[in-house]
Amino acid sequence: MFQGSYVAIVTPFRNGKIDEAAYKNLIEMHAAAGTDGIVPAGTTGESPTLTPEENEQLVDMTVKFVKGRMKVMAGTGSNSTAEAIEYTQAAEKSGADAALVVNPYYNKPTQKGLYEHFKAVAQSVKIPVIVYNILGRTGVNVSTPVLARLAKEIPNIKGVKEASGDLAQMSEVIEQCGPDFDVLSGDDALTLPLMSIGGKGVISVVANFIPKDVKDMITAFNKGDMKTAQAMHHRMFPLVKAMFVETNPIPVKAACAILGLISPDIRLPMTQPDAENLDKIKKALKEYGLKV
């Protein structure tokens, strides 16, 4: 159901507000590039700094601009279960195809708490729910037995964005959750390795500005052209590394601004990259062959 190249899309700002015109242009770029899905209001979209009204506005705009050409997987997570339910219900009302629900952060719930959280959110809507498992951002990891139980017992929990960085865990998830449970990479560097063990694709950061290349790598793999897929992976790898010289989404927003896709505006507590890191980002873009 959820496979291919999804973009964890940046939220362009201008003068303190969401830049609707720039956002529409980004959506058109992705439609032309063959991107399979748009993921608004995620980590890369600076969701922690969006007001509830902006979150709903962003999802509404995404559905409106996409016009059914790609899937819309709205970021609706929160460390408050009640708030996550509100966001997820709003996304369903807006017409989103699915909701991406991150682990509750800061609270550090038990595995029982994680199960009950995702169960409550998923049962509050009819649209598919994708678990976003990212230990590094949230302080908790959804264990494979809990994820397998969710996949088995909650019909509309359809997959996971795996950003644990642990391929062994991802392999266990694929084995225990079954072929109809979609495992997507949350790390561009692991897209190809994950697909080689049964993953379905990626929710990508670098696809914000090289969407066709990310899509083409996945297409090559799915066609059995491993040589091309590997070559594209290795070509992209230095660029992927450059996107994490500072905390995401600082580098990717800087890259998009350098390439003229958006303004450089970013909300505190995120800041503009240091001069040294900005040079690294520019160098990586140039070496990839992009016009800086």
List, by residue number, the catalytic residues: 132, 161
What count of other Cβ atoms lies within 10 Å of the Cβ of residue 14? 13
Judge contact between 69 and 62, C-beta under 8 A.
no
The closest alpha carbon to 13, from 50, 38, 48, 42, belongs to 50
Residues pairing with 79 in the sheet: none
Judge contact between 101 and 88, C-beta under 8 A.
yes
Residues pairing with 70 in the sheet: none
Q: How far is C-alpha 220 from the geometric centre of its chain's CA atoms?
A: 21
Q: How far apart are CA 87 and CA 106, in angstroms?
A: 19
Q: Give 200's DSSP letter.
A: -
Residue 212 is which amino acid?
K
Q: How far apart are CA 220 and CA 213, in angstroms?
A: 10
**Who contacts 179 (Cβ-Cβ below 8 Å, separation ≥6)?**
none
Q: How far apart are CA 128 and CA 145, in angstroms?
A: 20
Judge contact between 242 and 231, C-beta under 8 A.
no
Tokens linked to 90: 């709003």
The closest alpha carbon to 128, from 150, 94, 100, belongs to 100
The secondary structure element, H or E, covering residue 8 is strand 4-8
